[in-house]
Amino acid sequence: ALMITDECINCDVCEPECPNQAISMGETVYVIDPARCTECVGHFGEPQCVQVCPVECIPVNPAFVETREQLQRKCEALQAQG
Ligand code: SF4
Ligand code: SF4
């Protein structure tokens, strides 16, 4: 999963681009729910939030480093939930 750092300027362009509804406004800046972020695996070739973020504040979350296979399985589980 990816994460948003405190460099975030709350511009809101990433939130509507997420195919998994993983992004929301947090207490001070936007946040990514690691349980819902597939790094866009299963939807797009590149993380869509990273593509649109103007300040490049969306790295991999070091607490949630996942393989492509794990991300694919997460995507399938999310889709099964509906
Ligand atoms: Fe959403 Fe993709 Fe960004 Fe993860 S990488 S938060 S799934 S847009
Ligand atoms: Fe924050 Fe980047 Fe998302 Fe804008 S696009 S809300 S700066 S993480």
- For residue 17, what pLDDT is reported? 98
Looking at residue 82, its pLDDT comes to 74
Mean pLDDT, consecutive 10-residue segments, the chain of 82 residues? 98 98 98 98 98 98 98 97 82
| C-alpha span between 21 and 75 (Å, rounded) | 12
Q: How far is the CA of 54 from the centre of ligand 1 (A)?
A: 15
Q: Please state the ipTM of this predicted complex.
A: 0.99
> Which residue has tokens 């939030």?
49
* Burial zone of 50 (CB within 10 Å; 0-12 exposed, 13-18 middle, 19+ buried): middle
CATH number of 15-81: 3.30.70.20
Cα–Cα dist 7/55, whole Å: 7
pTM of the shown model: 0.97
Name the residue ranges covered by the structural domains of the chain: 15-81
Task: Count the neighbouring beta carbons within 10 Å of the beta carbon of residue 34.
Answer: 15
SS3 assignment, position 8? coil
Q: Which ligand does the CA of 48 lie closest to? A: 1
Q: What is the pLDDT of residue 38?
A: 98
Q: Take residue 9 and report the two structure tokens written for it.
A: 């300027």
At 14 the pLDDT is 98
